[in-house]
Amino acid sequence: MLPSPDSPEAPKYWRDETGPNLRPAIFKYVNGERLTVGDIAFIRAYLRQWIESPVWQMNPHLTGKGRRELRKMRNRTRDIKSEADIACAVSMMVAAGMDPL
């Protein structure tokens, strides 16, 4: 169970972002439009704050394998440089039950 969205530990959803850059980048990504370098940077930053949230490691059911997968997801997200990298990171998160989109 995720903590309240107001909690500092909770991952923040892109839909709640008030800045002018992330929302258009996410819309472009989900609609299959070509992303700019800036769009990729905004999505990478968003996904990093999502996967770096301490809430994921606080899961009492997280196994050793789950901790290794979480580390892989965090590393993969830090290394995002392309649309394919975004797709891979998001796919890993969705498979783990933590859909950031």
Task: Say if CB 43 and CB 29 are below 8 A apart.
Answer: yes
**pLDDT in the model for residue 83:** 97
- Asked if the model's pLDDT at residue 7 lies above 80, the reply is no
Among 23-27, 43-47, 56-60, 61-65, whose mean pLDDT is lowest? Answer: 56-60
- Hey, where are the domains in the chain? 15-95
Q: How many CA atoms lie within 13 A of 46 on its CB side?
A: 26
- Asked if the model's pLDDT at residue 65 lies above 60, the reply is yes
Q: How many CA atoms lie within 13 A of 19 on its CB side?
A: 11
**pLDDT in the model for residue 90:** 97
- Asked if the model's pLDDT at residue 17 lies above 90, the reply is no
Confidence (pTM): 0.88
